[in-house]
Amino acid sequence: MKIKNTEIKIIQGDITELKVEAIVNAANNKLVMGGGVAGVIKRKGGKVIEDEAVKKGPIKIGEAIFTSAGNLSSKYVIHAATMGMPACRPPAGEAGQAGTFKTDEVKIRESCKNALQIAEELKIESVAFPALGCGVGGFPHLAAAKIMAQEALKHLRESESSLKEIIFCLYDQDAYDIFNKGVIGYLEYIAQKLQNGPFTTVDAIIEIDDGIVLIQRSNPPFGWALPGGFLDYGESLEEAVTREAKEETGLDLVDLKQFHTYSQPQRDPRFHTIGTVFIAKAKGEPKAGDDAVDSKVVKFNEIPKLDLAFDHKKILQDYMKHKKGQNPF
């Protein structure tokens, strides 16, 4: 698909054989090129790539640097640090088994974002990514696909890009199928549903007994969050929050009251959202559904200890002040 002037492509093949200006290496923070995609790049492009990279390291996890591409047809290799490197490195091909190079959503998101920024600084027109974090990092392909799609969308929407082509290159058929759905399918859904943004969302603070209902998200950004989602065209905010709560928790809302609207541009790591939060009550036991893998009632005194997605920690802090009769705004 196309975003502005940039084609997004998913292909199956060997990333080192592509005729693009830069390929991305899912690197460790010390920039030592061992197994996986890094090992193939080093073997085909020459040790000069690793030597040049190591001289620029170590870097922080999530950061990126570039080097020449040695004997490869590309001009550059962009080394995006998706993981740390342990003091004792296991043999090539065995690191993922021990989980020593484990990565996560934030590291993949930051490394993808910074790799795209390096591509802009190089003023190149084509760049190819592997599945960041999915080799020795052990991260699920579908989750990585959605995170990388979100970062590509955000990057292209928020800047005038020199890139004419962003390629996601997967070596095997299963990974290709997952990325084809997780990137192209996801971006087509966003383009059709949300148009140009900022995007309108709703969230529900559902009070049950002495607690509130939270869901555990199955899509990135991961973590616990208030039930909610995007407004459909032709739908009111009240209808949207009632629908989303039902889809994600199985609960029917009563005593619905609008609480506050949150619009800080960085509140959602994917793109700019304007979210209206409602307070409501409900009866029954929450049951996870839609894109929630779990749902539970959290007691009020446990809320300050929570690590939540988006800006939901701040929302609940404001809510707790409101319950105490204070004005949080």
| Residue 38 lies inside a defined structural domain of this protein | yes
How is 175-205 classified by DSSP, letter by letter? HHHHHIIIIIIHHHHHHHHHTTSSEEEEEEE
Asked if 141 and 266 sit in the same domain, the reply is: no
> How much is the pLDDT for 316?
95
Say if residue 88 is in the same domain as residue 212. no
Q: 256 CB contacts (<8 Å, ≥6 apart)?
A: 238, 241, 242, 278, 279, 280
Give the span between the Cα atoms of 199 and 188, in whole angstroms.
15
Query: Do 260 and 137 fall into the same domain?
Result: no
Looking at 156, 174, 194, which one is the last position of a domain? 194
Q: Are residues 222 and 287 in the same domain?
A: yes
The conformational region for residue 75 under phi > 0 = left, psi -120 to 50 = alpha, else beta, is alpha
3-state secondary structure 259-323: EEEECCCCCCCCCCEEEEEEEEEECCCCCCCCCEEEEEEEEHHHHHHCCECCCHHHHHHHHHHHH
Residue written as token pair 């004005």 = 327
Q: Is residue 86 part of a domain?
A: yes
Q: What phi and psi values does residue 286 have, to the nearest 5 degrees?
A: -65, 140
328 part of a folded domain: no
Nearest alpha-carbon partner for 286 in 220, 201, 209: 209
Q: Are residues 152 and 257 in the same domain?
A: no
- Does residue 181 sit within a domain? yes
Kindly state whether residue 210 falls inside one of the protein's structural domains.
Answer: yes
Q: Is residue 329 part of a domain?
A: no
For β-strands 6-12 and 2-3, DSSP reports them as: antiparallel
Q: Are residues 188 and 205 in the same domain?
A: no
Sheet holding 64-68, edge to edge: 2-3, 6-12, 165-170, 126-129, 22-28, 76-83, 64-68
Strand partners, 274: 200
75 and 170 both lie in a single domain? yes
Q: The domain that contains 155 carries what CATH number? A: 3.40.220.10
The predicted model gives 51-75 an average pLDDT of 96
Each residue of 237-257: pLDDT tens digit? 999 999 999 999 999 999 999
Q: What is the per-residue pLDDT across 206-230, written as a single tens digit (0 to 9) for each?
A: 999 889 999 999 889 998 999 999 9
168, 194, 220 - which closes a domain: 194
Q: What is the pTM of this model?
A: 0.76
- Are 29 and 124 members of one domain? yes
pLDDT at 131 > cutoff 60: yes
Residue 235 domain boundaries: 199-323
Burial 57-74 (b: 16+ CB within 10 A, else e): bebebbbbbbbbbbebeb
The average pLDDT across 142-147 equals 93
Residues 250 and 127 in one domain: no
Tell me, yes or no, whether 130 lies in a domain. Answer: yes
Q: Which of 194, 224, 247 is the last residue before a domain boundary?
A: 194
pLDDT band at 199 (very low <50, low <70, confident <90, very high): confident
When pLDDT is cut at 50, 70 and 90, the band that residue 100 belongs to is: low
Number of domains observed in the structure of the chain:
2
Q: What is the mean pLDDT of residues 43-71?
A: 96
pLDDT at 194 over 80: no
In sequence order, what E strands does the chain have? 2-3, 6-12, 22-28, 64-68, 76-83, 126-129, 165-170, 199-208, 211-217, 223-225, 228-230, 253-262, 273-282, 292-299
Residue 239 lies in a domain: yes
pLDDT digits (tens, 9 = 90+) for 153-166: 889 988 889 999 99
CATH number at residue 256: 3.90.79.10
Burial of 8 (0-12, 13-18, 19+ CB in 10 A): buried
Same domain? 56 vs 182: yes
Examine the domain organization and report whether 71 and 216 are in the same domain.
Answer: no
Q: Is 150 found in the same domain as 7? A: yes
Residue with tokens 């988006």: 310
